[in-house]
Amino acid sequence: MTVVPTPVPPYPHPSGERAPAIPKQFVPKHVAVVMDGNGRWANARGLPRTEGHRAGEASLLDVVAGAIEIGVEYVSAYAFSTENWSRSPDEVRFLMGFNRDVLRRRRDLMNSWGVRVRWAGRRPRLWRSVISELEEAEQLTKDNTTCTLTMCVNYGGRAEIADAAQAIAREVAAGRLKPDRINEKTFARYLDEPDLPDVDLFLRSSGEQRTSNFMLWQAAYAELVFLDEPWPDVDRRHLWRAVETYARRDRRYGGAVDKPGGTPA
């Protein structure tokens, strides 16, 4: 029998600010994060783009800490997209090594917080050393239940959907699945992380207002919140403000409720 140590709470924010008290039913269960603006943050300071990625590591840790404190159960972080291979070879090499080293440096801390680390993305082209670190972090933290951090490395929403379609086609060709039995629930079982719940809150930094091929299936009904700050300037307080914004929104999932007087909401 595996004995899971009691998680320790994350370090408090240096400002002393605490997570706002929001009823659990209004806290998003799953937050998807696009960590945008690292390169622009660095360029604005006369630094190489890679220094922006380095600075963004602390932001990710702080946001995960804030997620635990406010009660978010799942965080998915867009660490390296299938489109990022088009960047300069030097930046691609840096990002591969950086993602590997972040996992190596931080997995014990995440484990102590009770965070379960998972990986979504394609294996082809990904460095074997990166895959090894991802798998080791998954194994180390597999029994943790405080929060799940999905590192999306070599991930793309369209790629994930295409890969799921290929897997379903193979099942149909083998006679294990009937085409007329395929529905949305069936399809979702073939995604990278089939037990990952739908995204409730989609958070992007640095002023851009697009999803950039992230969690396309899972974020179909997500509430979108865009921050002006580049990712290295983001911390848990930005997440908390975004959760407060989320809590004020009326999520109807395509439905409508008549207000008094017969006017649809």
DSSP symbols for 194-260: TTPPPPSEEEE-TT--S-TTSSTTTTTTPEEEE-SS-GGG--HHHHHHHHHHHHHS---TT---BPT
Active site residues per annotation: 36, 84
The pLDDT value recorded for residue 260 is 61
pLDDT single digits (tens) 111-159: 999 999 999 999 999 999 999 999 999 999 999 999 999 999 999 999 9
Long-range contacts of 185-189 (CB under 8 A, 24+ apart): 187/217, 188/217
Q: Which run of H or E residues covers position 32? A: strand 30-34
Average pLDDT over residues 235-257: 89
Classify 222 in phi/psi space as left (phi over 0), alpha (psi -120 to 50) or beta: beta
Separation between Cα atoms, residue 112 and residue 116, nearest integer Å: 10
How long, in residues, is the chain?
265
Contact assessment for residue 125 and residue 47, using Cβ atoms and an 8 Å cutoff: no
pTM of the model: 0.93
pLDDT single digits (tens) 182-222: 999 999 999 999 999 999 999 999 999 999 999 999 999 99
Contact assessment for residue 243 and residue 28, using Cβ atoms and an 8 Å cutoff: yes
Per DSSP, what are the bridge partners of residue 80? 153
**247 has a pLDDT exceeding 90:** yes
Average pLDDT over the chain reads: 94
Reported confidence tier of residue 264, pLDDT bands at 50, 70, 90: low
